[in-house]
Structure 1
């Protein structure tokens, strides 16, 4: 399971939301072996005056937060991060300097999905990879 939150300046983020979502999801499917139909993305387009960022960043600055079940190896998480940087640069022309990615992992028992604690669900994909 994964929930993705994407934050950015609305004038830059809104026109490319669908493409950003597709790029992120392709990376999740490839590295984490997510099923292609498991896409849970939330966008937070912000007014420029409400989105502060460090010098050296542009208005394309985007924050990606990935919440997921714990269980992936460090190597797999690094592959995800590196693939996100690569594909966002290649497909959206956003510099890695303008991307920040954070992965939050929690035990399945901390998730409630489809009326059950997630540790009681039968999943159609692997978590421990």
Structure 2
């Protein structure tokens, strides 16, 4: 399971939501073997005056938070990060300097999905990649 939150300045984030979502999901599928139909993305476009970031970043500054079941290898998570930087830069021309990614992992039993604790779900994909 994976939930993705994407934060950015609304004038920059709104026009690219669909493309960015597709890019992120392609990275999730390639690095973590996510199924094509498991896409849970939430966009949080913010007013410029509500979104502060460090110097050296531009208005294209984008935060990506990935929440997922624990169990992926360090190598798989590093591949995900690498692919996100590469593909977002290639497809959307957002510099890696303007992208920050955080991965949050929690045990399956900390998730509630479709009326069940996550550790009682039958999944159609592997978590231990």
TM-score past 0.5 threshold: yes
- Indicate the residue corresponding to 1:118 in structure 2: 118
* 1:56 positional shift: 0.3
- Between the two proteins, the alignment pairs up a number of residues equal to 129
CA distance in 1, matches of 2:52, 2:126: 37
CA distance in 2, matches of 1:115, 1:18: 29
Unaligned runs of 5+ in 2: none
- Indicate the residue corresponding to 1:49 in structure 2: 49
Unaligned runs of 5+ in 1: none
Give the alignment's TM-score, normalised by structure 1: 0.99
- Indicate the residue corresponding to 2:11 in structure 1: 11
Root-mean-square deviation (CA, aligned residues, Å) is 0.3
- Indicate the residue corresponding to 1:29 in structure 2: 29
- Indicate the residue corresponding to 1:2 in structure 2: 2
CA distance in 2, matches of 1:11, 1:100: 18
- Indicate the residue corresponding to 1:80 in structure 2: 80
Q: Say whether residues 1:92 and 2:116 are aligned partners.
A: no
CA distance in 1, matches of 2:128, 2:33: 10
Deviation per CA, 1:83-127: give whole Å up to 9, x if none.
Answer: 000000000000000000000000000000000001001100000
Give the alignment's TM-score, normalised by structure 2: 0.99
- Indicate the residue corresponding to 1:62 in structure 2: 62
CA distance in 1, matches of 2:9, 2:89: 17
* DSSP-derived class of the 2:18 partner: helix
